[in-house]
Amino acid sequence: MGLLLPSILANAQRPHSNYVLVQSSIAQTCLPVLRRLVNHRPGSKRARTILICFLYPPSSLCEGTGDAIDILDYTGNVPGYAGTFNDPRDAILEAAKAAPAAPLNIIIDSVDTLASDLGSTSQTYQFLHALITLIRARPNPSTLILHVLAPSQLIPLLSATSFSPSLTHILAHPPVLLTHLATAYLTPPPPLSTPEKFWGVFIPFSERAYESEKLVFGPNGEGSGGIVKGELVVEVLVRGGGEGRRRTVERVLEGWADTKGGPCELNAMESLKSIWTKKAVAEEAPPDPTQNVSFNLNLTDSQQQSRAQVPLPYAHEGKPLDNQAAPAAILYDPDSADDIDDDDPDEDLDI
């Protein structure tokens, strides 16, 4: 089975998903994936992209300017600092409505910064809902791509079916998370363990953000760069927007390595090689304890025959089994202090 992430990056999903939620965390950024989404979404030669920057400067995301991409830079529009804060919502909506009648990609980095600037989670949600409604009215393949930094109050709202029935959720995890689960919980990623067992351990562990932060920034942590820079684990969740049986959810775990051009298999990542090396060593045949000793531990054929003829000292060896059950009985051995006689113990009572 091929990788799912390349088809998402190439905007070639079937059926097309018009909503992508890219999730970073303090322990692992998803910036390489977001950068690829900005610069490599062909979909259609007539498609246009509006990049809206609140967190990272445009130079961190866009490889170059072109006729097919419009940049709205709000990184310097910060409330409370010198100058007057301008609410960017009307300008963004006007730019989206003024775009030519062709497929349109709107990319926002990041919605948490926008919510912080507006000072309201509900107003941010309403604005994003207006954007996705505008995207749905556009011809395919039009996409709304939102970058969010976990933990965030917006994640449950933006991943709910009420916001969008269809969803492509891309989450970044540090590679040390998988090595920790493989060693501490004996649960390596599939196919080294069953998907049911792995996801049952991985999902609740990864949702506790402090666990990943401790693995990365703790006393024995690897730091934000990791052992191998440019590598991260990508969790991809795709939710269909159909009704009934057509509504399906697919969840996969894939790798990302800058040295390999981006998406790759997990076993191709340098930072995860220890997982597959330990598995290969465990599958090797155990060493023969009779080798390289100064005496012979093996038996000859005659010795094995003689050993087989030795009667075993079992209590019922050679005796037929009695299939008839013995009648139940109580056997009592009186103690020396017991006063046992046939007299009536109550004969002195006048009853």
Q: Is the pLDDT of residue 36 over 50?
A: yes
The structure tokens 């989450």 sit at: 171
What average pLDDT does the segment 183-212 reach?
92
Confidence of residue 280 (pLDDT cuts 50, 70, 90): low
* Report field, pTM of the whole predicted structure over 0.95: no
- What sign has the CA pseudo-torsion 12, 13, 15, 17? negative
| Calpha distance 345→151 (Å, rounded) | 82
Question: What is the pLDDT at residue 15?
Answer: 63
What the block records as the tokens of 151 is 């933990």
| Structural element, H or E, at residue 24 | strand 19-25
For the chain, what is the mean pLDDT?
83
Q: Is the pLDDT of residue 78 over 80?
A: yes
**Domains in the chain, start-ordered, CATH in brackets?**
1-17+167-280 (no CATH), 18-165 (3.40.50.300)
Confidence of residue 148 (pLDDT cuts 50, 70, 90): very high
Q: Compare 58 and 318 and report the one with higher pLDDT.
A: 58
What average pLDDT does the segment 21-29 reach?
94
Helix 121-136 vs helix 111-118: angle between axes, to the nearest 10 degrees?
A: 130
What average pLDDT does the segment 167-188 reach?
93
| Calpha distance 351→339 (Å, rounded) | 23
197 contacts: CB under 8 Å, gap ≥ 6: 187
| Calpha distance 176→187 (Å, rounded) | 13
User: What 3-state DSSP class applies to 155?
Assistant: helix
Surface-to-core class of residue 28, CB atoms within 10 Å of its CB (0-12 exposed, 13-18 middle, 19+ buried): buried
Q: Is the pLDDT of residue 232 over 90?
A: yes
Q: Compare 225 and 336 and report the one with higher pLDDT.
A: 336
174 contacts: CB under 8 Å, gap ≥ 6: 27, 28, 212, 215, 216, 222, 226, 232, 233
Question: What is the pLDDT at residue 244?
Answer: 47
49: left (phi over 0), alpha (psi -120 to 50) or beta: beta
What the block records as the tokens of 245 is 């049986």
What average pLDDT does the segment 146-155 reach?
93
Least confident span in 3-17, 94-108, 315-329: 315-329
Q: Is the pLDDT of residue 250 over 60?
A: yes
Most confident of 99-103, 256-260, 323-327, 346-350: 256-260
Q: Compare 250 and 345 and report the one with higher pLDDT.
A: 250
Surface-to-core class of residue 14, CB atoms within 10 Å of its CB (0-12 exposed, 13-18 middle, 19+ buried): exposed
Confidence of residue 91 (pLDDT cuts 50, 70, 90): very high
Question: What is the pLDDT at residue 122?
Answer: 94
C-beta atoms surrounding 11 within 10 Å: 22
